[in-house]
Amino acid sequence: MTSPKELKKHLRKEALGRRDALDAFWRVEAALEMAETARDHLAVEPGQIVSGFWPMRSEVDVRPLMFALREQGARLCLPAILDKTTIVFRELVRGAPMVEMGFGTVGPHEEAEVLDPAVMLVPLAAFDARGHRLGYGAGHYDRAIARLHAMGRQPRLIGIAFDCQEVARVPDEPHDVVIPEILTESGLRRFDIA
């Protein structure tokens, strides 16, 4: 019998292999299409805090999407890795210094203000039709979301992926966070997670 951890590792590897195989130019077009979808379907209030992420490897480049949300008045932030288990979200300000965060990504310098996002654009390796997310295995986002929940905050969670990252079923584990919305190149999908 395969353990949930082993099955997740296998599903992650397969989904990321499919994502890596996507044409780089097509990925750019898909990211721009997703930004247009966000402009039409992800209304944010002026000043609302939205966390994005700096793309690594073959991830969806959410920078056009973040720009579209900034145009609606969003205040943007990016994850900053503090140690092996903790991320916080630092404000992304035009012209402010960016630093290496590890994992091939960058984020705002430690002098940037730490913010608690009301909307989170969540990276993922794979997802299923129930809104179950498979991350990269470190649990950074699960813990960050749990920390916000413990503070009484309920951020709107929107997974960001390509359609090819969908799998039949992500194994359920008690610590996993279910994502009620996933944005792909096909549009914004909402899941009933009640």
Cβ atoms of residues 143 and 177 within 8 Å: no
38: left (phi over 0), alpha (psi -120 to 50) or beta: alpha
Q: Each residue of 40-55: pLDDT tens digit?
A: 888 899 999 999 998 9
| Tokens linked to 21 | 């195989």
Report the alpha-carbon distance of residue 135 to residue 123 in Å, rounded: 7
Q: Given CATH 1.10.10.10, say whether it is the number of domain 4-169.
A: no
Cβ atoms of residues 55 and 84 within 8 Å: no
Element spanning 155, H or E: none
Which of these ranges, 26-30, 96-100, 137-141, 156-160, has the smallest mean pLDDT? Answer: 96-100
Report the alpha-carbon distance of residue 170 to residue 126 in Å, rounded: 8
Tell me the pLDDT band of 193, cut-offs 50, 70 and 90: low
Q: Each residue of 150-182: pLDDT tens digit?
A: 999 999 999 999 999 999 999 988 777 889 999
